[in-house]
Structure 1
Amino acid sequence: MKVSSFFVSLMGAIQWVALFGWAGCARAQAPTNQASLARQSSIVFSGTVSKIGATSFADVPKSAQTLVVRVDFIVKKPSAVSLKKGDDVTVEVKDPSVFQEGTHATFYTDGWIFGSGVAVKELGHEIGPGVGGTTKAAGADEKAHGQGQEQISDQELRDRLNSADFVVIGRVTDIHRWNVPKSAYRVTEHDPDWHEAVVEVQSVLKGGKVKGNKVVVRFPQRNDVAWVHSPKFEKNQQGIFCLNRDQVSGVPMTKLGGHEVNVYTCLGHGDSLPMSEEARVRSFLKAQ
């Protein structure tokens, strides 16, 4: 049976679209997937795999799915997590077969185990240039990731400012442990180890006037997985605080200077910001 040249050409065109058209679509979707992964992840970093089937500290169970990754650049992390360039991180990956020693990748992860080091679980990854391949300049790589993170942070910050009862600029003048009364004590494996920070308010960016120019901020001192996103404060720390009336500890009032005052919490990622963010915070609040 003869097959017309037109039919052969048509079938060839269909195959070309199937092979290359879908690949083009997949490439077009990649930025969307990347942004979605970044939003879902609490810790995002680029790094180089140094060990396969190993861990970076003893508390982490070793398996075929665990990798040790040397951090090259931090894209996103909670302020409470101590992680910097050059640190070794344990990553539990979904498919270890795609990695080898020397593989460079960006890891989208969630916190897993925190102790003498950091261990995370992979939500997704992007493989960079292979071993021996041409790598981008570190500055260009960091700039690209930084721009993506800034967009995410902007949205997170807007949401946080919208939901805050107060936004203040202040300085921590005192830190002390809060002795939980028996009526509020709850037995839990995620005990927060509540502490209180007395913050001297220097400027109110959102909310009413603060009595006595001081507020009490109750915060979890423990780096448990349940509280990993919560800021930890130090005496003389200066910054911007996004505060909500305490609905977590079970005791929303405390004594300050002999007076009964409201207690506030500052529990989420982005609730405590450095002074370098003041212009951005003021800009977003002005636009509300």
Structure 2
Amino acid sequence: MSTDERRPEEAGFIFRGKAVPDKDRSIREEGGAERGSTAENTISIHIDEVMHSTAELRGLRGRDALVITEHRATFEGGEEFVFFTDVVSLGDDLIVRELGHRRATSEAREEIAETLRAAVERPLAERVRHAELIVTGEVTASRVLERPSPPRSEHDPEWGIARVAVRTVLKGKKPKGDVEVLFANSHDIAWYKSPKLHEGKRGIFLLHLAGQEDEDDHPRDLPRPIHKAIDPLDFLPADREADVRRLIDQEGGR
């Protein structure tokens, strides 16, 4: 499969490297049989840089990977490539299956790095795009609303309302005074990643109108429209402000 047919971020393990001739010779001499592969469709590649991986794979720089590929001859010249792969086996021998490759020119590496960065940021970019109001500030008070009896669900969010003192408006119309924000106080599995907006919480708030995305994302008896912050990305530490500003600028440029 060529890289034109598959987005780079869809490969589980992306790295830059080149063939290890001596190890290729030993693979041929030993028959090269590994999980259905043969000497003709495997090649040993030294990993010079890990560009995309899971947390478990980030420390593999400097190791050799046995790559199952249909393009062995392409890599035997010692040229450096970026490999788009999925891991077959992670043990004494690292075995990966090639999904695509590109010559590791500086232009290609920059393009791949930008594509991967955009993929990582895509969920946050979506929250930024749909937020009605984005502010920096601090929670000065919060209270948990009375729960319905019996709860409407075993995963009851235990709704609360936080009062946020706004310091800076990054997106949207500047509010008059503090902003009230609905949040889920529950630590149930359905809500434990949702921001807990208690007094002293300080950072960046990505605020959405309750009921705008889902009719069940707020108490049904609220007397007025209210902002909410219930997605894990709706509250960010203050040091992410530059990232949020950049995504807002990108949104404005579309």
**TM-score bucket (shorter structure):** 0.5 to 0.7
Partner SS, residue 167 of structure 1: strand
Residue 219 (structure 2) aligned to one of 249, 254, 273? 249
What code does the residue aligned with 1:268 have?
A: D
Structure 1 residue 275 corresponds to structure 2 residue 238: yes
Structure 2 SS opposite 1:225: coil
Match of 2:90 among 130, 138, 150: 130
The aligned runs of 1:134-173 (5 Å cut-off) are 150-173=117-140
The answer to whether the 8 A contact 2:135-2:205 is kept is: yes
Equivalenced residue count is: 163
Give the 3-state SS of the residue equivalent to 1:161 in structure 2: helix
Q: Does 1:223 align with 2:168?
A: no
Q: What is the CA–CA distance in structure 1 between the aligned matches of 2:147 and 2:164, rounded to whole Å? A: 20
Query: Is 1:46 aligned to residue 63 of structure 2?
Result: no
**CA pair 223-203 structure 1, distance change in 2 beyond 3 A:** same
What secondary structure does 1:278 align onto? helix
Q: 1:168 to 1:153 in 2, by over 3 A?
A: farther
Taking a change above 3 Å as real, the CA distance of residues 275 and 149 of structure 1, as seen in their structure-2 partners, is farther
CA contact (8 A) 1:243 1:266 kept: yes
How has the CA–CA distance of structure 1 residues 221 and 148 changed in structure 2, closer, same or farther, with 3 Å as cutoff? farther
Query: How do 1:24-63 residues align onto structure 2 when only pairs under 5 Å count?
Result: 25=2, 29=6, 31=8, 33-34=10-11, 45-47=54-56
Same amino acid, percent of matched pairs:
27
Structure 2, unaligned runs of 5 or more: 13-52, 60-84, 96-112, 212-217
Q: Distance in 1 between matches of 2:158 and 2:186?
A: 6
Q: How does 1:195-214 map to 2 (within 5 A)?
A: 195-212=160-177, 214=178
How far apart are 1:25 and its partner, in Å?
4.8
Superposition deviation, residue 129 in structure 1: 6.3
Amino acid in the other structure paired with 1:279: A
Report the alpha carbon displacement of residue 181 of structure 1 after superposing the two structures with TM. Answer: 6.5
Give distance in 2, aligned partners of 1:197 and 1:45. 36
**In the superposition, relative to structure 1, how do residues 127 and 233 fare at CA in structure 2: closer, same or farther (>3 Å)?**
farther
Q: Measured at CA, do residues 32 and 283 of structure 1 come closer, stay the same or move farther in structure 2, by a change above 3 Å?
A: closer
**Residues 152-172 of structure 1, C-alpha deviations (whole Å, 9 max, x = no match):** 342222221221111111111
Q: Please tell me whether residue 187 in structure 1 is matched to residue 152 in structure 2.
A: yes
Letter in 2 for 1:275: A
Q: Distance in 2 between matches of 1:181 and 1:132?
A: 56
Separation in 1, partners of 2:114, 2:187: 29
2:188 partner amino acid: D
- TM-score, normalised with respect to structure 1: 0.47
CA positional deviation for 1:278: 0.9
Measured at CA, do residues 235 and 149 of structure 1 come closer, stay the same or move farther in structure 2, by a change above 3 Å?
Answer: farther
Q: How far apart are 1:201 and its partner, in Å? A: 0.6
